[in-house]
Amino acid sequence: MANKDEWTVPQDDLAEAWQQVLPERLNDGDQAEVIANGTDPRSLQVTIKTAGHQKLEFDFAVQYVDSREIDIQLTDVEKDGQSVDERTDIMQDLIQDYRRHLHETAQALHHFTHS
């Protein structure tokens, strides 16, 4: 009998599901790329590129704590390929907005991760 906390979701399937659902949650024109983290079957690498001329790119590490809860770590913010200070109010607002979209995506995929 499997432990109810045992992770049974295939990582590639999870990444594909996120790739389908996350863009629906983002602002118009924003783009997302989701890839499996090769070192942890519960983790995904998510890159969100903002729409418009700012060319901002946000990298997040998303890890499932369990089938319902995710932990989100911001790993990098770049503008035109250069790292930028993410501590400004504008950047913090964008980061919080994207974190909310990531949580919404996890909730939308609850049926997929909770067996």
Give the domain ranges of the chain. 11-113
Q: What does the alpha-carbon distance between residue 102 and residue 81 come to, in Å, rounded to a whole number?
A: 23
Asked if the 11-113 domain carries CATH number 3.30.310, the reply is yes
Provide mean pLDDT across the span 25-52: 94
Residue 33's pLDDT is 98
Q: What is the pTM of this model?
A: 0.91
pLDDT band of residue 8 (cuts 50, 70, 90) is confident
CA triple 88-30-77, angle to 5 deg: 35
Q: What is the pLDDT of residues 32-41, one digit of tens each?
A: 999 999 899 9
Secondary structure of the chain as H, E, C letters: CCCCCCCCCCHHHHHHHHHHHHHHHCCCCCEEEEEECCCCCCEEEEEEECCCCCCEEEEEEEEECCCCCEEEEEEEEEECCEECCCCCHHHHHHHHHHHHHHHHHHHHCHHHHCC
- Between residues 114 and 84, the one the model is more confident about: 84
Residue 23's pLDDT is 96
- Is residue 4 scored above 70 in pLDDT? no
Residue 5's pLDDT is 58
